[in-house]
């Protein structure tokens, strides 16, 4: 029998390098795709050489192959078919799968190496985090998919109950390890999974992306912990690769989570434990009135403007209006209007989501500006067209006492005129009245975003022919 | 704790700093693919799942190991396909016609 250990080690080493380079390539849209393709090749090589690991029972190979085929096939089909608007919940699912796999590996480690205290401790930690990650991710998926109420679910003494459940789960795990009785792993997983569910329940739909990012980081850490436990055993090579890749993701995910929370001017603890959106603001009164405008008049306003900034929100994506918006922007540009897009960091359902949706529609990413780049430009802008965005353009964020207070927003109300396309008179994701709609320079166009933009496009075509 | 775990811990600390440095350079524009891309990278868990199932001796271990392999494979495949799909949209060489816009 040939010893493949050196080959396996070398492939893992190269794979890890390509993972880092793949993430690094994402610093520019020009190089990003190449980076991920290389990382994908490296991953494939790492998986293939793992079959050569000495000591694996050949009788289990059929099961491994079947598992890879089933899981890989399901992941491939789903990922190919999914709409870009449904991206956040899909990331949640795939992330949950990773967390579940990490938890399952930890379970096997616990069953087989109950005697080694270091491995046992690491595996227990990996199992806790993995179970929390899969349970929480599933709840996140259900909420974002609309299969479950998005509103935060709260009950008195929630935090205490949650912590008690977690403590109970960990106690069962420790007892299973100390008594070397695998039976207690059952309640251990039951309670840690329950904790993951309880953790995600009080979080509203608007905050879910932050939580998905957090679970992403947690899965990375769970994978790294599993890796630690494997390193200690006779087959450490796979463990080192898992430690590096898992830690990379853990660090990356944590940073991204903090950036996202900061974009909403909230701390992570506030996101996790405050049940944001469950309460209505009290005693706030809004001055002014809502002023509806017809699409034809709105089209004229934009056609004769020098500069237009489009501020899209998730409502645009829900109505699948991206393609029409791109057409509108092109028509305006043909008339010599300067058209730009203002993208709020949490527009859409995850950071960068809006950029992806507009890129899919064919909008050049040079025209997409993030909040910091464009916020100073609004006072010099003739018309801002807000499409299906609400909370991220709400000037209430500048008012003391508002639940949105301090949230960084797009200051669209600074522009000469603001047009808002809105489906109805309902409130935004956060459930808060929008001061912008009542301002003197703001006009409302009610209707489905796609229908309205289609009318705007038609009106522009008529006026130019 | 064995020397191996200490070595791994040292590597993990370095990897955490590398992760932090690399991610802080990614523009907001690409934060969605970054999230799904890092999702794909923790799909390395599949390697651990294969080893765990391969070493399984009891039926219970085999069942859990099989579940781990299915989940890991789904994680890694789905994460990769989605990330590649998104990044293709941002790749000008792949979409020569649609990017235009400037008259």
Q: How far does B59 lie from chain A, in Å, by closest CA?
A: 11
Within 8 A of A51 by CB-CB distance, chain B residues are: 50
**What token pair was written down for A370?**
């993030």
Interface membership of A458 toward B (CB under 8 Å): no
Q: Are both A305 and A177 inside the same structural domain?
A: no
A391 is catalytic: yes
Range of the domain at A404: 295-464
Interchain contact, A108 vs B64, CB within 8 Å: yes
Confidence of residue B101 (pLDDT cuts 50, 70, 90): very low
DSSP-derived secondary structure for A37-54: HHHHHHHHHHHHHHTT-T
At which of A51, A81, A111 does a domain end? A81
Instruction: Name the catalytic one among A391, A411, A417, A435.
Output: A391
Interface membership of A126 toward B (CB under 8 Å): no
Question: How many whole angstroms separate alpha carbon B83 and alpha carbon B33?
Answer: 5
Interchain contact, B65 vs A108, CB within 8 Å: yes
Count structural domains, chain A. 3
Q: Are both A182 and A209 inside the same structural domain?
A: yes
Query: What CATH number did the domain enclosing A402 receive?
Result: 3.40.50.1220
Question: How many whole angstroms separate alpha carbon B43 and alpha carbon A105?
Answer: 13
Q: Are both A237 and A339 inside the same structural domain?
A: no
Interchain contact, A333 vs B103, CB within 8 Å: yes
From the number of C-beta atoms within 10 Å of its C-beta (0-12, 13-18, 19+), residue A48 rates as: exposed
List pLDDT tens digits, range A48-64: 999 988 888 888 999 99
Interchain contact, A60 vs B11, CB within 8 Å: no
Alpha helices of A58-149 — where are they, by DSSP H? 61-81, 87-112, 117-145
- A310 - beta bridge partners? A341, A385
Q: Are both A270 and A327 inside the same structural domain?
A: no
Q: What is the pLDDT of residue B103?
A: 37
Interface of B with A in 36-95 (CB under 8 A): 36-58, 60-62, 64-92, 94-95
Model's pTM, two decimal places?
Answer: 0.86
Within 8 A of B59 by CB-CB distance, chain A residues are: none
Pick from A32, A102, A228: which is nearest to B87 by CB?
A32
Residue found under tokens 């070595």: B7
Among B7, B3, B15, residue whose Cα is nearest residue B42: B15
Question: How many whole angstroms separate alpha carbon B14 and alpha carbon A354?
Answer: 33
List pLDDT tens digits, range A110-158: 887 656 777 788 889 999 999 999 999 999 999 888 888 777 777 787 8
Phi, psi of A18 (to 5 degrees): -70, -30
Interchain contact, B38 vs A236, CB within 8 Å: no
Interface membership of B5 toward A (CB under 8 Å): yes
Q: Are both A316 and A224 inside the same structural domain?
A: no
Q: Are both A151 and A17 inside the same structural domain?
A: no
pLDDT at A283 over 50: no
Confidence of residue A287 (pLDDT cuts 50, 70, 90): low
Q: Are both A256 and A160 inside the same structural domain?
A: yes
Q: Are both A1 and A146 inside the same structural domain?
A: no
List pLDDT tens digits, range A422-451: 887 766 666 677 888 888 899 999 999 999
The per-residue pLDDT of chain B, averaged, comes to 86
Within 8 A of B6 by CB-CB distance, chain A residues are: none
Residue range A382-386: average pLDDT?
95
Interface membership of A84 toward B (CB under 8 Å): yes
Interchain contact, B5 vs A122, CB within 8 Å: yes
Q: Are both A12 and A141 inside the same structural domain?
A: no
ipTM of predicted complex? 0.89
């Amino acid at each position: 029998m040939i010893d493949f250990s050196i080959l396996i080690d070398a492939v893992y080493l190269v794979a890890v390098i390509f993972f880092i380079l793949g993430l690094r390539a994402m610093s520019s849209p020009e190089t990003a795709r190449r980076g991920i393709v290389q990382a994908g090749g490296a991953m494939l090589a790492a998986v293939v050489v793992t079959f050569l690991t000495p000591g694996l029972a050949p009788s289990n190979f059929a099961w491994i192959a079947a598992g890879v085929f089933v899981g890989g096939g399901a992941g491939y089909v789903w990922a190919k078919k999914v709409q870009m608007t449904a991206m956040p919940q899909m990331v949640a699912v795939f992330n949950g799968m990773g967390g579940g796999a990490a938890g399952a590996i930890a379970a096997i480690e616990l069953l087989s190496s109950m005697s080694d205290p270091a491995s046992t401790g690491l595996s227990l930690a990996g199992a806790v985090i993995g179970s929390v990650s899969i349970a929480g991710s599933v709840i996140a998926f259900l909420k974002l998919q609309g299969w479950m109420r998005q509103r935060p679910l709260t009950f008195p003494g929630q935090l205490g109950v949650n912590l008690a459940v977690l403590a109970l789960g960990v106690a069962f795990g420790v007892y299973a390890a100390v008594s070397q009785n695998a039976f207690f792993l059952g309640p251990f997983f039951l309670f840690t999974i329950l904790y993951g569910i309880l953790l995600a329940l009080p979080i509203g739909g608007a905050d879910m992306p932050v939580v998905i990012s957090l679970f992403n980081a947690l899965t990375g850490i769970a994978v790294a912990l599993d890796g630690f436990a494997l390193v200690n055993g006779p087959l450490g090579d796979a463990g080192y690769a898992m430690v590096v890749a898992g830690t990379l993701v853990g660090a990356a995910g944590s940073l991204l989570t903090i950036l996202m929370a900061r974009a909403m001017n909230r701390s992570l603890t506030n996101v996790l434990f405050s049940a944001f959106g469950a309460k209505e603001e009290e005693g706030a009164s809004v001055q002014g009135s809502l002023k509806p405008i017809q699409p034809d008049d709105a089209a004229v306003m934009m056609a004769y403007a020098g500069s237009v900034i489009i501020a899209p929100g998730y409502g645009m994506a829900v109505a699948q209006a991206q393609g029409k918006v791109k057409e509108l922007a092109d028509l305006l540009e043909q008339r010599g209007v300067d058209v730009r897009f203002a993208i709020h960091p949490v527009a859409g359902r995850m950071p960068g989501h809006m950029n992806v949706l507009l890129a899919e529609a064919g909008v050049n990413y040079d025209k997409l500006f993030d909040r910091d780049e464009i916020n100073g430009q609004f006072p010099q802008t003739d018309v801002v067209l807000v499409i299906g965005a609400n909370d991220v353009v709400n000037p209430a964020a500048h008012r003391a006492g508002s639940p949105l207070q301090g949230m960084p927003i797009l200051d669209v109300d600074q522009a000469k005129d603001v047009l808002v396309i809105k489906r109805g008179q309902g409130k935004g994701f956060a459930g808060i009245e929008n001061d912008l709609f009542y301002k003197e320079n703001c006009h409302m166009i009610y209707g489905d975003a796609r229908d309205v933009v289609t009318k705007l496009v038609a009106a522009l075509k008529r006026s130019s022919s | 704790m064995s020397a191996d775990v200490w070595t791994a811990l040292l590597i993990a600390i370095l990897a955490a700093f590398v992760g932090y440095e690399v991610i802080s350079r990614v523009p907001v524009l690409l934060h969605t693919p970054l999230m799904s891309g890092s999702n794909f990278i923790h799909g390395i868990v599949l390697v651990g799942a294969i080893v765990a199932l391969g070493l399984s001796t009891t039926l219970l271990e085999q069942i859990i190991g099989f579940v781990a392999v299915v989940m890991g494979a789904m994680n890694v495949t789905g994460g990769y396909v989605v990330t590649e799909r998104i990044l293709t949209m941002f790749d000008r060489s792949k979409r020569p016609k649609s990017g235009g816009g400037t008259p």
